[in-house]
Chains A and B, each alone.
Chain A
Amino acid sequence: MVSATDRHHRLFAFLTGITAAAVLAAGGAAVLPQTAAADDVITFGAALSATGRDAREGALTKQGYDFWKDYVNAQGGIKVAGKMYKVDIKYYDDTSDPATSAKLVERLITQDNIKFILAPYGSSATFAASAITEKYQVPMVDPNGAAEAIFNRGFHYTFAILSPAKKYLQGILEVAQTLKPRPVTLAVLAANDQFSIEVAGGIRDYAKANGFNEVFYSEYPPDTKDVATLLTQVKQKNPDIILGSGHLQDSLLIMRAAKDQGVQSKIIGFSVGPSTPDFITSLGPDANGVMGGAQWTTALTYTDATFGSAQRYTKLFQAKYGALPDYHNAESSAACETFAAALAKAGDLDPGKVRDALAALDIDTFYGKIKFDSRGVNIYKPMAVEQIQKGVHETVWPADAANAKPLFPLPPWGKR
């Protein structure tokens, strides 16, 4: 028989054990030798949203990064100063929280000794991470953080390959100007967050300068669950064009509420949403005719040295993942490619030299030309416009890359 004292000792040991294990685990990580990368491997680091609100977008970003990594390694790696290196990417989960992103980027740099950072998903997280990369003077290439605020702080180590937020919806109004009869009245709905407000601000300025008449503008809380009230107000104004600046889930909510309320416009478009496969699978035929600003589309004709062309990228990606790449995938792969180009140009693994090489870069990629201004924003990058036609993404703008004519005006609900 086991005595009571014996039992309590055991229980005490059990509890102290749990505590001690946790403490040791954390402390042990602190004193263990820091990750020693093999000589012939270059390791990039990224804190991405694997869980939480942005898990879907984080997964798309990771797919883009991994696709580049596997492709390049299959080709033998990347060449820096005459030597071939394999590439690797170390990931952490930032749980869709910008503060955690910043913390994990600091961990990647100071604990894992990683000198090249691939940005997290989203403007807020990239914003938080940029302060860290700046402090440690480690270059970061950013495929997903489009808010201009990131680049107005005089930082030197963050480079964004994508178009800034204020351009996201401009293409749709450029298309609208070519249509007959020309649509004039416009309603803008914007989520009340940094990125979406910048997008909305850009398009409202553009609309004013180009003869559009804004009849309705409203912001809505970023985590909104119901936009029915908003859409009844839009219906009263009966605008020719409805533009939504928000995120995938908001775009879906607005589409459903518009149908529920029978809101019939000639054009409807979103900054984020239509380009993802989820948009079409969610809405079915109702997705037809919807326009979306896209950083990249499979119809663009850019070429490069790594993947060959946008078409080849699309084909290889589809073969590997069984789905067409959306622009989040493409811009993420392109960010890696940009880093590799800068490494080759620098001919050195020193982060400072790679940073200078990024600043002076001027290259063609399957994603488009890449050259940064003094703030680290890609100056060449135009936005494309996609429209969903018969359940497929078609590129309708810019005109020289378009593979379909815009469907205009939108057919009535139920006939799309």
Chain B
Amino acid sequence: MNVINIAHGAFIMLGAYTSYWLFVGPMHLDPFLSIPLAMIVMFVLAYLIQRFIVNQVIRAPMLATFLLTFALSIIIANVAQIYWSSDIRSITTAYSGSSITFGAITIPWVRLWTLVIAIVMTLGLQTFMTHSKIGRAIRATSMDVDAARLSGVGVGHIYALTFGIGGALAAAAGSLVSVSYAITPNMGDSFVVRAFVVSVLGGLGNVTGALVGGLVYGVIESFGALIFGEGYKDVVALAVLLLVILFRPYGLVGRATA
């Protein structure tokens, strides 16, 4: 959709807090169960943000939306700090830390379920994008706004829907990381850059590519850390990113024509 959303990290943070409040609240909702709720909340918020703010500049040069979402992200993070304080919070469930062992390999349950949910969501989104009417409208708008408008697509609504879906997925990510990471108003910052890198690795505008990109990135980081030392993991991962961009700019999964 040609929008660089810096506020994605802030959305992840809000998703994590949503799960946190539902977990400590009277319902004591498990973070995996609060994913749908967090997604709905963030879908609505992201939809409104795109509809009433970002849509105002969507056709201005690419950097205008970048600037706008950057400003939104600092607003969201700091308002979160004002109301929720900078206290570090976490969610510790009964199953936190339990894992499943295959021989020498230990896999924490939380990570395994995170992977399963990521795969399910990717397949769901892929199906939605290719088979639903809205999904086709989104793809049409992303190819050519004017043509889409002429064929009767309400592009303002479609942009907002797309942004809303992005927000909902960020919220799901936030709920998932809330089980493993400290929850703070600034927690989104370090995820957002990795999210960009991963989406380029997979190929921009490619749904399954994002999943593959994420897995590849994680594997490269881990092996980079093992072979060259923990400090070099970012260097190795980003060197691979550069090579991919230069030699396969359409991503690991995509085709040159895509």
Q: Direct contact between A and B in the complex (CB less than 8 angstroms)?
A: yes
B residues near A (Cβ < 8 Å) are 78, 81, 85-90, 92, 96-99, 101, 106, 108, 110-111, 180-182, 184-186, 190-191, 194, 221-222, 225-226, 229-231, 233-234
Docked-complex contact A278 and B186, CB < 8 angstroms: no
CA distance in complex: A278, B87 (Å)? 7
Docked-complex contact B231 and A192, CB < 8 angstroms: yes
Docked-complex contact B99 and A59, CB < 8 angstroms: no
Docked-complex contact A225 and B181, CB < 8 angstroms: yes
How many pairs of A and B residues are in contact by the CB < 8 Å rule?
93
Docked-complex contact A261 and B90, CB < 8 angstroms: no
Docked-complex contact B99 and A260, CB < 8 angstroms: yes
Considering only residues 194-230 of chain A, those with a C-beta below 8 Å from chain B are 218-221, 223-226, 228-230
**Set of chain B residues within 8 Å of A253, measured between Cβ atoms:** 181-182
**Mask for A219-252, Cβ within 8 A of B = 1, else 0?**
1110111101110110000000000000011001
**Set of chain A residues within 8 Å of B194, measured between Cβ atoms:** 225
Docked-complex contact A230 and B225, CB < 8 angstroms: yes
CA distance in complex: A221, B90 (Å)? 22
**Set of chain A residues within 8 Å of B233, measured between Cβ atoms:** 221, 229
Q: Tell me the count of chain A residues lying within 8 A, CB to CB, of chain B.
A: 39
28 A-B residue contacts at CB 8 Å?
A51-B81, A55-B86, A55-B185, A55-B186, A219-B231, A224-B230, A225-B181, A225-B194, A226-B221, A228-B222, A229-B221, A229-B233, A230-B230, A232-B106, A248-B88, A252-B90, A253-B182, A260-B110, A261-B108, A262-B99, A262-B101, A262-B106, A278-B87, A281-B90, A282-B88, A282-B90, A282-B92, A282-B182
**Set of chain A residues within 8 Å of B81, measured between Cβ atoms:** 51, 55
Docked-complex contact A225 and B85, CB < 8 angstroms: no
- Tell me if A283 is interfacial: C-beta within 8 Å of chain B: yes
The answer to whether residues A256 and B88 also contact, given A55-B81, A55-B185 and a CB cut-off of 8 A, is: no
Docked-complex contact B88 and A260, CB < 8 angstroms: no
A246 to chain B, nearest CB (A): 12
The answer to whether residues A56 and B88 also contact, given A223-B190, A225-B190, A286-B97 and a CB cut-off of 8 A, is: yes
Docked-complex contact B185 and A260, CB < 8 angstroms: no
The answer to whether residues A229 and B230 also contact, given A252-B90, A256-B96, A286-B97 and a CB cut-off of 8 A, is: yes
**Set of chain B residues within 8 Å of A52, measured between Cβ atoms:** 186
Docked-complex contact A281 and B89, CB < 8 angstroms: yes
Docked-complex contact A260 and B108, CB < 8 angstroms: yes
- Tell me if A312 is interfacial: C-beta within 8 Å of chain B: no
**Set of chain A residues within 8 Å of B111, measured between Cβ atoms:** 260
CA distance in complex: A281, B90 (Å)? 8
B231 contact from A51, A59, A221, A225, Cβ within 8 A: A221
